[in-house]
Amino acid sequence: MKFELKQHFQIESARFLPHLPPSHPCSRMHGHSFKIVLTLVGDLDPKIGWVIDYNDIQAHMKPLLALIDHRVLNEVEGLENPTSELLAKWIFDKARASLPMLTRVSVAETPLTECSYPA
C-alpha cells in the first residue's frame, strides 16, 4: 500500500539572478523566506505503521539545508543562477541520494509563487 508524505522546511537566503537585465528587480541582491516541501512516496511498514520517520527525513535534510540557509545562493556550487526552478532541481538531485523515495521538491519564494521538480 503506497502512501504520499510531505515534509515542510523553511530557509532564509539571499540571491540575485545574473541573467536578467539590470532593470529587473531580481537582478539585484534580495532575500526570500523559501518554503521547501519534499514529497516522498513509499510502502507502509506494517509493523511500525509508517513509511518513514519524519525525524529521519529531517536528519537527512539537515546538512543539505545548512549549505543554503542564511547563505547567498549564488555562492553555492551549482546555484550560480539560483532561480526557484533550479533551486528545486538542485535540492531534488542532492536529497534523492539519501532519500530514494523522494518524488518531488516544491519551492515557494513568496506566499503566492511556487514551482515543483519534477513536474
Q: What separation in angstroms does the CA of 50 have from each of 55, 57, 83, 96, 97?
A: 12, 13, 34, 19, 21
Cα gap 88→93, rounded to integer Å: 9
Q: What is the pLDDT along the chain (119 residues), one digit of tens a residue?
A: 899 999 999 999 999 999 999 999 999 999 999 999 999 999 999 999 999 999 999 999 999 999 999 999 999 999 999 999 999 999 999 999 999 999 999 999 999 999 999 98
Known catalytic residues are 26, 70, 109
Place of cell 556550487: 77
Domains and CATH numbers, the chain: 2-117 (3.30.479.10)
Residues 6+ apart with CB under 8 A from 41: 2, 3, 4, 5, 101, 103
Cα gap 60→2, rounded to integer Å: 21
